[in-house]
Amino acid sequence: MRRLGELEAEIMYRLWAWGRSATARDVMTDLNKKRPIAYSTVKTVADILYQKGLLTRQKEGRAWVYTPTCTRQEYTASLMRDALGENPDPAGALASFVQQISGAEAEALRSALRAVKRRSEA
């Protein structure tokens, strides 16, 4: 999975944070609180995200309502998986990653590994 462009990320981050579907106009209204952006620009980028499979859309009246196809966590995990898959030394990449994370992140990783182990043993 490719990394998101700047506006793609802003749209996806809002939809993930809101936890609900939204129209391009909803997103544009929120984006305009920080910087001016045209409706047509938001609509075009939402359509690109739909074509990439990151959003679904459903017609409601005259507007498309967009919904993420994955959670932010699933998207991040996919990026991580792709990075490991492209590396000729995934164990080395993981070791380097672990050396760079904070103590809290390391504990979160240990907790996630324990949870996966429990599920596989069940």
Per-chain mean pLDDT for the chain: 95
Could you tell me the two tokens for 7?
């506006």
pTM of the model: 0.84
Of 47, 49, 43, the C-alpha closest to 31 is 43
Q: pLDDT value at position 114?
A: 95
Q: What is the pLDDT of residue 112?
A: 94
| pLDDT of res. 117 | 93
CB 57 within 8 A of CB 50: yes
Tell whether the model's pLDDT for residue 95 goes beyond 80.
Answer: yes
Tokens of 50: 């739909």
Q: For residue range 47-86, list pLDDT tens digits in order.
A: 999 999 999 999 999 999 999 999 999 999 999 999 899 8
Looking at the predicted structure, is the pLDDT value of residue 1 above 80? no
